[in-house]
């Protein structure tokens, strides 16, 4: 099989397409292993679909399923377009619903995110104020004045207690900087698209940012998140790192 490794804002994925649907759990665990495999945060299989250009199966690097991943939508769109699986404006099916993506330029992809659902408008825990929102997967968001307050052990505790990814966000000059602890990876990642969108929605609700802003994850890559009426758009660069054929 031939696989492509992609990076989207530092979030990396192993992507391939197949005409045969099956359980890819063990493939995800093996190929995402950073010492004995290709190494990635997630694994995506693209499959045929009657109602869209294709559908995906998405796995975290521990083999667990995830309904949605914002950065992966951009990487997958780039892969699909460059492998003649979809036109430059495409629709594909995830477990969180239909995603619309558009190839803006050679390496920039824009995705319309799934409709968010507020799960908890605010609560206090561990000395922080939290907001819980589902942007395809559930996220906890706290806004802080210093991202060094991000604490791995605290995030792990909150992740298991609330079954959600955990985000620390700082607003600076109308822009958002984010650090995210992700389920499935069980640690901090360089970027999380659905997490950045969750932080944007919270900051926008508090009127700390406008309806369009720049967002920077730990990788420090620049992304644009915007809100047009009730639609949320997520735009940024992706990179195909390499392709590999494995027996």
> To 5 degrees, how large is the angle CA 67–CA 70–CA 73?
85
Beta strands at 42-47 and 11-17: parallel, antiparallel or unpaired: parallel
What's the residue count for the chain? 247
How far apart are the C-alpha atoms of 40 and 17, rounded to whole Å? 17
Q: Please tell me what DSSP assigns to residue 67.
A: S
Residue 192 annotated to the active site = yes
Q: How many CA atoms lie within 13 A of 230 on its CB side?
A: 4
Instruction: List the catalytic residue out of 32, 69, 155, 199.
Output: 69
Instruction: List the catalytic residue out of 32, 49, 155, 192.
Output: 192
Known binding-site residue numbers: 11, 60, 70-71, 165, 182-183, 193-194
Contacts (Cβ under 8 Å, ≥6 apart) of 31: 3, 14, 37, 38, 40, 43, 246
Other beta carbons less than 10 A from residue 228's beta carbon: 10
Known binding-site residue numbers for substrate: 11, 60, 70-71, 165, 182-183, 193-194
Four-CA torsion 195, 201, 203, 205, nearest 10 degrees: -160
Residue 32 annotated to the active site = no
Rg for the chain, CA atoms, rounded:
17
Catalytic residues: 69, 192
């Amino acid at each position: 099989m031939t696989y492509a490794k992609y990076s989207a804002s530092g979030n990396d994925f192993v992507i391939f397409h197949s005409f045969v649907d099956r359980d890819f759990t063990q493939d995800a665990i093996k190929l995402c292993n950073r010492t004995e495999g290709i190494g990635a945060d997630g694994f995506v299989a693209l499959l045929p679909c009657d109602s869209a250009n294709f559908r995906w199966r998405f796995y975290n690097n521990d083999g667990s399923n995830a309904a949605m991943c914002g950065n992966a939508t951009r990487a997958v769109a780039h892969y699909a377009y460059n492998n003649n699986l979809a036109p430059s404006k495409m629709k594909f099916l995830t477990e969180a619903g239909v995603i619309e993506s558009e190839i803006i330029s050679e390496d920039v992809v824009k995705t319309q995110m799934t409709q968010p659902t507020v799960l908890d408008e605010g609560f206090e825990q561990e000395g922080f104020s939290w907001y819980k929102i589902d942007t395809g997967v559930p996220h906890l968001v706290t806004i802080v004045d210093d991202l060094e307050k991000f604490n791995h052990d605290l995030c792990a505790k909150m992740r298991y207690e609330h079954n959600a990814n955990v985000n620390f966000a700082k607003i600076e000059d109308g822009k958002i900087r984010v650090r995210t602890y992700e389920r499935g990876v069980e640690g901090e990642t360089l970027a999380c698209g659905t997490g950045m969108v969750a932080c944007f929605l919270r900051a926008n609700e508090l009127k700390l940012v406008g309806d369009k802003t720049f967002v920077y994850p730990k990788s420090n890559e620049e992304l644009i998140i915007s809100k047009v009426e009730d639609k949320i758009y997520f735009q940024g660069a992706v990179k195909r790192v390499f392709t590999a054929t494995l027996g």
